Amino acid sequence: MANFKLNKTVKGKKFEYTVTDEKGKVISKRSSARDYVACTANGEFYFGRLDLIGKGDHGKRVSYAAAFLANPEKAYKDWLAYFVPTERIKQKESLPYEKFILERKPWYEKEKEELNTIAYL
């Protein structure tokens, strides 16, 4: 796994944050008046305190990706359960389990990796 670093510079009343990899290539940028100590490497979530990592929306998405990868069949059944019975039949025909897994598994693997890769100051 690559190492990422969060860099902070002061620009007037705001902070300029950049995430860089070990070669110095900029991965993401953000300007904010808030003071952050960490973020996901892709710059999607920023954290004001270290104890907030894995909480809120970040925690929900990490948990859902982990649950999907642990038991894809249950995830498929849960996805189908969101639909009313008549629509459920249509969805099951248009997106059978095998196709569902082929389409979504790579996405959730990438999602889990990106959300678990944290850049610190």
pLDDT in tens, 71-82: 999 999 999 999
pLDDT in tens, 15-34: 999 999 888 899 999 999 99
Q: What is the model's pLDDT at position 1?
A: 58
Q: With beta carbons less than 8 A apart as the criterion, state whether 35 and 108 touch.
A: no
Q: What is the model's pLDDT at position 42?
A: 87
In angstroms, the CA 82 to CA 88 distance is 8
Q: What is the residue extent of each domain of the chain? A: 4-120
In angstroms, the CA 41 to CA 30 distance is 12
Q: Which two tokens stand for residue 118?
A: 């944290």
List CB contacts of 33: < 8 A, sequence separation 6 or more. 13, 14, 15
Which parts of the chain are beta strand (E)? 4-11, 14-21, 26-32, 38-40, 46-47, 118-120
pLDDT in tens, 86-106: 999 999 999 999 999 999 999
Confidence of residue 60 (pLDDT cuts 50, 70, 90): very high
